[in-house]
């Protein structure tokens, strides 16, 4: 998979500034896992500075000029706070490719507080006869393993075929 087509990471680990060696340790542990990204928290203190009282309540106005979609879920959510690091997990559907028909399918990645060091993914192509044409359904078999080799989870999920609209 080329960098241009690489999917964003499913898990992001953010190490705290007071644990400088932990960044290298976690980066080494997940070195072969492109679905996990390890970052250092480089923030220095609170960004918002206390100001004096203001004449109008700024929360009542629209800050960016266009209203945002209030129903949209965040891209990542905090799933675990470890000793010296936080784990964020992607909330959207994950893509996969069917080797049989070449289709891109989307599936819901099972929730895991611990990012897998190894992830075995297999798209299952199930043909279904419908009138007037043949339509394929897909499932995704997924095995997640910890860095120690211990299995974290095994699951099969239904997948939706991604259809390009012209």
In a domain, 55, yes or no: no
What is the model's pLDDT at position 143?
A: 93
In a domain, 29, yes or no: yes
Kindly indicate the confidence band of residue 110, based on its pLDDT and cuts at 50, 70 and 90.
confident
In a domain, 57, yes or no: no
What are the tens digits of pLDDT across the range 54-92?
A: 565 555 555 554 455 555 556 889 999 989 999 999 988
Q: Which two tokens stand for residue 154?
A: 């095994």
What is the model's pLDDT at position 59?
A: 57
User: How many Å apart are CA 68 and CA 73, to the nearest integer?
Assistant: 12
Calculate mean pLDDT across residues 35-47: 81
Q: In this structure, what are the phi and psi dihedrals at residue 27, rounded to the nearest 5 degrees?
A: -60, -40
In a domain, 52, yes or no: no
Look at the pTM and tell me if it is higher than 0.75: no
Q: Which spans in the chain are helix H?
A: 20-29
In a domain, 96, yes or no: yes
What secondary structure letter does DSSP report for 111?
A: P
For the chain, counts of helices (H) and of strands (E): 1, 9
139 closest CA partner among 102, 80, 110, 96: 96
Structural contact between residues 124 and 140, judged by C-beta atoms closer than 8 angstroms: yes
In a domain, 4, yes or no: no
In a domain, 138, yes or no: yes
Q: Indicate the number of domains in the chain.
A: 1
What secondary structure letter does DSSP report for 38?
A: E
In a domain, 78, yes or no: yes
Calculate mean pLDDT across residues 133-157: 87
The domain containing residue 138 runs over which residues? Answer: 11-46+73-161
Calculate mean pLDDT across residues 38-48: 76
What is the model's pLDDT at position 1?
A: 43
């Amino acid at each position: 998979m080329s960098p241009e087509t690489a999917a964003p990471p499913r898990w992001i680990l953010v190490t705290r500034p007071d644990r400088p060696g932990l960044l290298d340790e976690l980066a080494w542990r997940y070195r072969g896992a492109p679905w996990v990204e390890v970052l250092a928290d480089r923030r220095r203190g609170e960004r918002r500075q206390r100001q004096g009282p203001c004449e109008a309540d700024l929360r009542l106005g629209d800050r960016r000029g266009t209203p945002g979609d209030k129903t949209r879920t965040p891209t990542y959510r905090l799933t675990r706070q470890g000793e010296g690091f936080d784990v964020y997990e992607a909330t959207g559907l994950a893509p996969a490719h069917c080797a049989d028909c070449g289709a891109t399918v989307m599936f819901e990645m099972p929730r895991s507080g611990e990012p897998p060091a190894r992830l075995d993914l297999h798209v299952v192509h199930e043909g279904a006869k419908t009138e007037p044409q043949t339509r394929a359904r897909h499932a995704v078999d997924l095995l997640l393993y910890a860095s120690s080799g211990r299995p974290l989870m095994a699951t099969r999920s239904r997948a939706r075929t991604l259809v390009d609209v012209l």
